[in-house]
Structure 1
Amino acid sequence: MIHDRYQLAFKLYPYARSADQDADAPVRHPVVVLGGGPVGIATALDLGLQGIPVVVLDDHEGIGQGSRAICFAKRSLEIAHRYGCGQAMLDKGIIWNLGKVFHDDRKVFEFNLLPEEGHRFPAFINLQQPYFERFLVERVRQAQAEGAPIEIRGRNRVDQVEVSDGGALLTVATPEGPYTIEADWLIGADGASSPLRGMMGLDFDGRVFEDSFLIADIRMVNDDFPTERWFWFEPHFKSGASTLLHRQPDGIWRVDFQIGWDVDRKTELQEENVRARLDAMLGDVEYEIVWTSIYTFQCRRMKKFRHNRVIFAGDAAHQVSPFGARGANSGMQDVDNLGWKLGAVIRGEAPETLLDSYDTERVHGADENILNSTRSTDFITPKSKVSHTFRNAVLDLAETNAFARPLVNSGRLSVPCTYDGSTLNTPDALEGGPARTRPGSPCPDAPVSDGFLLDGLGHGFKLLAVNTEVPQGALPVVSVSTESDPEGALAQRYLGDATTAVYLIRPDQHVAARWSSYDAQAVSEALSRAMGKV
């Protein structure tokens, strides 16, 4: 029997009647978020921690079934840490550094993702999506107790949306009948099938890959597999054209089998057929099947993520293949980008046109992810005899030749996006500065005297002063010295060939501008640009 362990106490926000259902006229809210997945809850958390009232409407009452996304990148953990729940995710997750690539029965090579020293978080953790979502919801509960104006309404399904220049009117179905509310701003975080996108007559552009993967989450009784990522091309056990093995918390292992396009899904999901594939792979190993599913992947996005006062994020806006862990991680970067901008607009600190930069920056991020994801998928699932021959030749070379190993693509893993060319950037004025912290870049962490650099850079614009004095003024100043980091990580990441530096850091911890020394006028102009006023 296949057990579903994810049907646990994850019914976190059961239906409860709201005051809006008894109102004589539709109640208007500053922000309404459609969808209670990680992107929707993170959006509500970001805005609520800014003091902006937000209502989440979810047609479910909690966290969905199945492990789904399992690889969460360092940047997602850093964002969650700024919200107050990153450490809990790290404590629960499985840290993995070593990956091994196999072809048939041979190990081609291995790679180590252990990041350079001086970061609070590792490159990746494995953590089932239900846990990731639960930690976000638990942080919402804490924030609510602290006064954050966040409301999550379970079993509130949006059936109709009327969009206008001033917002949206929503018809919401509940177990006790429908009601209507209004929103100044509507955020579509309602997943890949996005009912909101459909109601607005919007669609994706992109590519659907004609292949299918069978997922099996299993618990092995005698678990002696190492905590590593193993990927087989054309595995000798013949359970699929390729196979991926990952460890998860609670003794659960994820196995992905590439099973082809023309398959009978119902037949493939029968327990005896799932076990036949697993038995061929694992041999004489006792295991329990926890959850199974079949997915077909695609690399697509909407043409625009912002449609006046309706904004899309996460899978509702873009979809990628699972190879490289770019789905949920890119969704968290959407939230990271959108939250501070929408907050600034609502507070009247920035013009509405600032939100156009959300569209351009995150479309750029989506295109980058789609490009990498498409390349990974084309390598894993070659669709012609020529591409298949090339793929296998690369694998053969990589076994004994290091130069060929970068060509092996079993999923280029997610990294945060750099917004090169963004209108919010001020031209670089730090001569000899490191390329990795140029304007538009996400700030890399580094050790400082009282912990880690990123701890001081969240929530609002900041000036980062490295080895120099900056007067306290309209912006908070974070002063650091390379003397506090004898290993040199801070100097390497923020100085390069320079001896002093001043950075203007956005609320999402991306670099807006940098100089060799403080100039009040230059900072003022850069801040105006970063707020979309120039």
Structure 2
Amino acid sequence: MWPHDPVVVIGAGPVGQTTALLLARWGVPSVVLDRRPERDAVGSKAICQHRDVLDVWEAVGAGRRIAEEGVTWTTARTYHRGAELFAHTLPAAGPSPFPPFVNISQCRTEQVLDECIAAQPLVDLRWGHEVTALARDDQGVTVRAGGEELRGSFAVVCTGARSDVLRRLLGVTFAGHSFDDRFLICDVRADLPHWATERRFHFDPEWNPGRQVLVHPCPDSTFRIDWQVPSGYDLDAETASGALDTRIRRVIGDVPYELVWSSVYRFHSRVADRMRCGRVLLAGDAAHLVAPFGARGLNSGVADAENAAWKIAWVGYGRAPESLLESYHDERHAAAVENLEVTTATMNFLVPPDEARARHRAAVLERAATDPDARALVDSGRLSEPFWYVDSPLTTPDPERPFAGRPPRGQAPAPGPGVLVPDGPVTLPDGTRTRVRALARDGFLLLAGAEADLDPVRAVAAEWRCALVSGYRGPERDNHSRAMWLLRPDAHVAAVLARPTRESLANALARATAQAVPPRRRTGDGVLPAHR
């Protein structure tokens, strides 16, 4: 039984929903507060859900449903001034049960997660509760919302981009910048079967000169179209004049269509200086804002939620010291900084901030039409990928598996400490067949090769409540069958023990739960050194 007050989750968007559901998996009750009177079920918003996020959602009963309803686009086509430069095919799913990506509207994703919450007695979702005060102490937090005061053992702030009040209450800064240009979104329903599995990116088309257009397929024959537009763009005026209809038809052609939803938004690149304030954690857009090219917003927010949930559970149950919460900032702030770096590079290519980079972009796009080597320089967004905790204070490094840096686009790094473990089938002693990641998300997991000596580690694994599975073939081709792979509750590799002993496993588990952490390596602003 959870021995404390519930966790207060502020914000009932996908990140807050995921946080509450994952806490419930660990038996942790939560109260979810949202200032809105009810769910705003309109618009596509964040549409690209990564395979690894679907995997997280499967742990709470939503992953397969969202994947089955979503559209899997398999080909990314890139155009310049109407001519196709190249097409990229996403890799196959491999051992994962999920496709690389699915497109589905954020509002539908939220509906599926709401259904999971409705079936979960440990989650208390309250609408119309705007948090106006938040105080924290060594034992928890006190919030005022909806005219009442609520006590919580921990709090997770998931209130999205407009979290200025709560960040100010916590003394958190949100440095960065905003882009001048706006982006117009239209959800258009039309019969375009030849576009159903393709993402189309247009650089400088004649019907949006000097700017970009992006087209994504979505369920129900709906297509999400994003236009880069000037800062003074007026959607209402363009709708009234009929110019919006002309704009849409220049993309889809002379076919019947229904305009389902439209909106104008502005891109921001910002990150909070702190993602942990005592027993309060910031997650999702409340902690970081990035341009959406590469789908690193919602996907990164779900990774925040998973990281926060298991660490709150371990601290609350007394399985780890409160310093484990500091590793949430270490790991997820480093992830946010990297996402900022990647998306800023994309925006500098899409919207060059100076003449030199404008000339570079023009030259790259001209060369890409005939030079395959130039195509790798065309930056329309590096697709979302999990952050690799190779520099985390919780990760035990392995000199035999050094991290080689960021791999080429579309590829995963070699398996090793800090990396999200490659998925694959595993058979339990009772004959049950499951997946490595599904098993890992039940707690700490030790996977032992067929020739590994289990005797030295059995007692340690039992003492630390670490599940032990033998006969694991491992994610490496050379199959170090004597090795053991220690996985965290978020399926990241905490350590690889080539010659496991009682002491080496105990040290790795102590380090992975912040009970034996080496001296912190920080730069002046509190960010772990860049590792890629």
TM-score between both structures, scaled by the size of structure 1 = 0.87
Residue 93 to residue 308, structure 1, CA distance change in 2 (3 Å): same
Q: Which residue of 2 aligns with 1:526?
A: 508
Runs (4+) of structure 1 exceeding 6 A deviation are 431-434
Alpha-carbon RMSD across the aligned residues, in angstroms, is: 2.1
1:436 partner SS:
coil
> Which residue identity lines up with residue 9 of structure 2 in the other structure?
V
Q: Which residue does 1:65 correspond to in 2?
A: 42
1:39 alignment counterpart = 15
1:464 aligns with 2:433: no
> Which residues of 2 match residues 347-496 of structure 1 at below 5 A?
347-428=317-398, 436-448=414-426, 450-469=433-452, 470-471=454-455, 472=458, 473-474=461-462, 475-482=466-473, 493-494=475-476, 496=478
Distance (whole Å) between structure 2 residues aligned to residue 161 and residue 188 of structure 1: 11
Report the 3-state secondary structure (helix = DSSP H, G, I; strand = E; otherwise coil) of the residue aligned with 2:269: strand
CA distance in 1, matches of 2:9, 2:259: 35
Query: Relative to structure 2, which stretch is displaced further, 219-228 or 94-103?
Result: 219-228
In 2: Cα distance, 1:346 partner to 1:324 partner: 35
> Which whole-Å CA distance do the structure 2 matches of 1:271 and 1:186 have between them?
48
How far the C-alpha of 1:396 sits from its partner, in A, is: 1.8
In structure 1, give the amino acid aligned to 2:158: A
Quote the Cα distance in structure 2 between the aligned partners of 1:421 and 1:397: 37
Is the 1:432–1:496 Cα contact (8 Å) retained in structure 2? no
Establish whether residue 516 from structure 1 lines up as the match of residue 516 from structure 2.
no
Name the CA distance, whole Å, in 2 between partners of 1:411 and 1:431: 29
Q: Secondary structure at the match of 2:107?
A: helix
Contact 1:108 1:396 in 2 (8 A): no
Query: Which residue identity lines up with residue 512 of structure 1 in the other structure?
Result: A
Cα deviation code 1:167-222 (max 9, x no counterpart):
3322212xxxx111122212110111114224445331112111111000010146
Instruction: Indicate conservation of the 8 Å contact 1:269/1:292, yes or no.
Output: no
CA gap 1:407/1:463 in 2 versus in 1, 3 angstroms = same
User: Aligned partners of 1:431, 1:364: CA distance in 2, in Å?
Assistant: 21
Distance in 1 between residues matched to 2:25 and 2:305, nearest whole Å: 13
User: What is the rounded CA distance, in whole Å, between the counterparts of 1:63 and 1:376 in structure 2?
Assistant: 30
> What amino acid is the match of 1:526?
A
2:530 alignment counterpart: none
Q: How far off is 1:109 after superposition?
A: 0.5
Q: Is the 8 A contact 1:205 1:302 kept in 2?
A: yes
Task: Give how far 1:519 is off.
Answer: 1.6
Separation in structure 1 between the aligned mates of residue 74 and residue 436 of structure 2, nearest angstrom: 23
Kindly indicate whether the alpha-carbon contact (under 8 Å) linking 2:104 and 2:219 is maintained by their aligned counterparts in 1.
yes
514 and 198 in structure 1: CA distance in 2 versus 1, 3 angstrom threshold = same
**Is the 8 Å Cα contact of residues 239 and 245 (structure 2) preserved in structure 1?**
no
TM-fit CA distance, 1:271: 7.3
Asked whether the 8 Å contact 1:440–1:512 carries over to 2, the reply is yes
Identity of aligned residues (%): 36
Distance apart, 1:240 and its partner CA: 6.8
Q: Is the 8 A contact 1:161 1:196 kept in 2?
A: yes
Please give the secondary structure, in 2, of the residue aligned with 1:77.
helix
Q: Say if 1:407 and 1:500 are closer, same or farther in 2 by CA, change over 3 A.
A: farther
CA deviation vs aligned residue, 1:472-528 (integer Å, no higher than 9, x gap): 54121133444xxxxxxx5xx335474542111000001110022432221111101
Contact 1:37 1:63 in 2 (8 A): no
**In the aligned structure 2, how far is the partner of 1:298 from the partner of 1:432?**
34
Q: How does 1:278-293 map to 2 (within 5 A)?
A: 278-293=248-263
CA drift at 1:78: 1.1
Name the structure 2 match of 1:14: none
- What is the letter of the counterpart of residue 479 of structure 1? S
- The aligned counterpart of 2:157 is 188
Give the aligned residue type for 2:103.
N
How far residue 431 of structure 1 moved from its aligned partner, in angstroms, is 6.4
State the alpha-carbon separation in 1 of the partners of residues 373 and 403 from structure 2: 30
Long gaps (5+) in structure 1: 1-27, 483-489
Measured in 2, the distance between the counterparts of 1:427 and 1:334 equals 23
Superposition map of 1:70-219 within 5 A: 70-115=47-92, 117-144=94-121, 149-173=122-146, 178-194=147-163, 195-219=165-189
Aligned residues: 490
The 3 A distance-change label for structure 1 pair 270 and 352 is farther
Q: CA deviation at 1:311?
A: 1.1
Is 1:274 paired with 2:265? Answer: no
Matched position secondary structure for 2:28: coil
Corresponding residue of 2:207: 237
5+ long unaligned stretches in structure 2? 405-412, 428-432, 517-532
Separation in 2 of the partners of 1:201 and 1:65? 33
Shift of 1:270: 4.6
TM score, norm. by length of structure 2? 0.87
- Encode CA deviations 1:382-430: one digit per residue, 9 max, x unaligned: 2333322211211121222221111111111111000121111112165
How many angstroms does 1:433 deviate by? 10
SS in 1 for 2:181: coil
1:63-97 alpha-carbon deviations (Å, 9 max, x no partner) = 44211000011111111112221111111111111
